[in-house]
Amino acid sequence: MKNQKIYEADDKMISLIRDNYDLLQMLGSFGMQLGFGDKTVRETCEDNDVDTYTFLSVVNFTVNGSMSSASSDDSGTQPVVADDRLSVPTLIRYLEASHAYYLDFQLPFIRRELSECLNHHDSLGQLILRLYDEYSHEIRRHMQYEQKTLFPYVRALLEGHITTEYSIETFSKHHGAADKKLRELKLLIIKYLPNDGLHNNMLTATLHDIYDNEQWLHQHAMVEDCIFVPAIRRLEQQMKQSDVTRNISDMVFKGTGQNSEALSDREKDVIVALVQGMSNKEIADHLFISVNTVITHRRNIARKLQIHSPAGLTIYAIINGLVDISSVKL
């Protein structure tokens, strides 16, 4: 059951950690070291040059889905926070450190775990690793975009530089479902990977870590969507002296539902052709259909299977007997 306690500046820092051990990584992203003894949140933040109000805002939002008891609403929806007491420089430092944690530690850590518990001589194992590498590439590209484009833009705003070529709304176009492949990877492992004793135990432990990472990524996205983005929008409005308000509902990582519709024979033919490496034009010529029809079939396949990557479709095709594994080029 979710902890509904709202933490305040005079609470002991150890109380936060004791109640929510998953906040340990957050401390590191704020640049706060362990060994704070019985100091309060305020004292610990001041010792580490961290804005106390911003730290508590992120903590309370992560733990409870709100920054304070006054920020919750009756609908149970996630609040959108626009508060001029937030320290934007502190938020940027926190997000940058969170990116470094995920890219430099978590992604390689899970990769090593998968590599150790999968059979490298097994084609399915190789495909699972390929799918993970595709996910890693996608999330790395997403976070590097923020590092190279979004954060420099915000720092320029803080220095008083306004540009008409970029805004926080532009960022929303890049803030899509970067965790889609992680969910796909998790489901493919659960559904299709065979049980082989010790390696299966290791894979189960790795799956647990993948679930934890999925939750971390969701919380990270919500902090960006519900705290950071509104704060930057407010900063833009203040600098431009404008009351223009825009909706950010399309900025939250959107999950996809399950669909149990069966594939048609033609859709299966398209999957086989895709697994064999054919382009849309080659598939159209091979099946005597138009390129637009191929594109429609591919869209329907993705919707029905909730599989959006070549590696995922290859695994599906092998498991369901659409292709022989010996004919697949790895």
Reported as a pLDDT band with limits 50, 70 and 90, residue 258 is very low
How far apart CA 44 and CA 322 sit, in angstroms, is 59
Residue 40 β-bridge partners: 12
CA 267 to chain centre: 30
According to the model, what pLDDT value does residue 33 have?
A: 86
Higher pLDDT, 152 or 79: 152
Q: What is the mean pLDDT of the chain?
A: 80
pLDDT digits (tens, 9 = 90+) for 166-177: 888 777 665 555
Asked if the model's pLDDT at residue 71 lies above 50, the reply is no
Burial of 146 (0-12, 13-18, 19+ CB in 10 A): buried
pLDDT digits (tens, 9 = 90+) for 25-51: 899 999 998 899 999 999 999 999 999
Higher pLDDT, 130 or 123: 130
Q: What is the CA radius of gyration of the chain?
A: 23
* Sequential DSSP letters for 232-286: HHHHHHHHHT-------GGGSPPP-----PPPPHHHHHHHHHHHTT--HHHHHHH
According to the model, what pLDDT value does residue 173 have?
A: 61
Reported as a pLDDT band with limits 50, 70 and 90, residue 297 is very high
Residue 312's alpha-carbon distances to 55, 87, 249, 300, 301, in angstroms, are 40, 42, 29, 15, 12
How far apart CA 288 and CA 290 sit, in angstroms, is 7
Range 186-199 average pLDDT: 70
Domains (range + CATH), the chain: 13-71 (no CATH), 88-251 (no CATH), 265-327 (1.10.10.10)
According to the model, what pLDDT value does residue 187 have?
A: 80
Asked if the model's pLDDT at residue 315 lies above 70, the reply is yes
- Least confident piece of the model among 19-23, 83-87, 181-185, 309-313: 181-185
How far apart CA 229 and CA 38 sit, in angstroms, is 34
pLDDT digits (tens, 9 = 90+) for 209-236: 888 888 888 888 889 988 998 899 888 8
Reported as a pLDDT band with limits 50, 70 and 90, residue 250 is very low
Question: What share of the chain in percent tops pLDDT 90?
Answer: 32
According to the model, what pLDDT value does residue 66 have?
A: 57
Q: 91: helix, coil or strand?
A: helix
Burial of 140 (0-12, 13-18, 19+ CB in 10 A): middle
- Decide if 39 contacts 13 (C-beta within 8 A): yes
According to the model, what pLDDT value does residue 196 have?
A: 61
